[in-house]
A = this chain, B = another copy of it.
C-alpha cells in the first residue's frame, strides 16, 4: 500500500511522537530503533523538515522534533511527498470515457472505495496511531 520510503517516514514520525522530549532526537537513534538505513532516513527526515512536518537543528545536540502536536498531524501530510496515495482517479484504468458523466458499471463502486482510502489518510492523525506509552529506544 505504501512505498517503503513513505512507510519509513510514517514510522519515524511515530517514533518521534512516542518519544517526545525536550531535546531533539538524533537520526542515528531513530534509524537504529526502527532498523532503517541511517543516511537514507536522514534524507527523508530532512524532506519532512522542509515540508514543515518536523523541525531540525544542526550541530551538537541537534536532531529532529515534531513541528506540531500529533493530533494536528494527518497521515496524509506525512506521506504525501513520497506517495501519491490520495490522488483519486475516477477510472481505475485512467480512461477518459469512464468518468462521472459516462460511467461504466464499476465506476461508482470504485470511486467510493478510492475516496475511502483518501479520507482515511486525510482524517487519521499521528495521535491515532500512537501507542499508549512511549516505546523504549
Q: Which of A7-15, A21-29, A55-63 contacts B (4 or more CB under 8 A)?
A: A7-15
CB under 8 Å from chain B, chain A span 82-129: 89, 92-94, 97-98, 104-106, 109-110, 113-114, 116-117, 120, 124, 127-129
Given A7-B93, A92-B2, A93-B10, A104 and B116 contact (CB-CB distance below 8 Å):
no
| The residue from B2, B110, B124 contacting A106, defined by CB atoms under 8 A apart | B124
Given A7-B93, A10-B93, A113 and B117 contact (CB-CB distance below 8 Å):
yes
Q: Are A106 and B89 in contact (CB under 8 A)?
A: no
Confirm or deny: A136 has a beta carbon within 8 angstroms of a beta carbon on chain B.
no
| Nearest chain B CB to A66 CB, angstrom units | 17
A57 to B130, CA, bound (A): 56
Confirm or deny: A137 has a beta carbon within 8 angstroms of a beta carbon on chain B.
no
Q: Quick one: closest B residue to A104, CB to CB?
A: B129
Given A109-B120, A116-B116, A93 and B11 contact (CB-CB distance below 8 Å):
yes
Apart from A1-B89, A10-B92, A105-B130, what 15 extra A-B contacts exist at CB < 8 Å? A1-B92, A7-B93, A104-B128, A104-B129, A104-B130, A104-B131, A105-B129, A106-B128, A106-B129, A109-B120, A109-B128, A113-B116, A113-B117, A113-B120, A117-B117
What are 7 pairs between A and B in contact, CB < 8 Å?
A97-B131, A105-B130, A109-B124, A110-B124, A113-B116, A113-B120, A117-B117
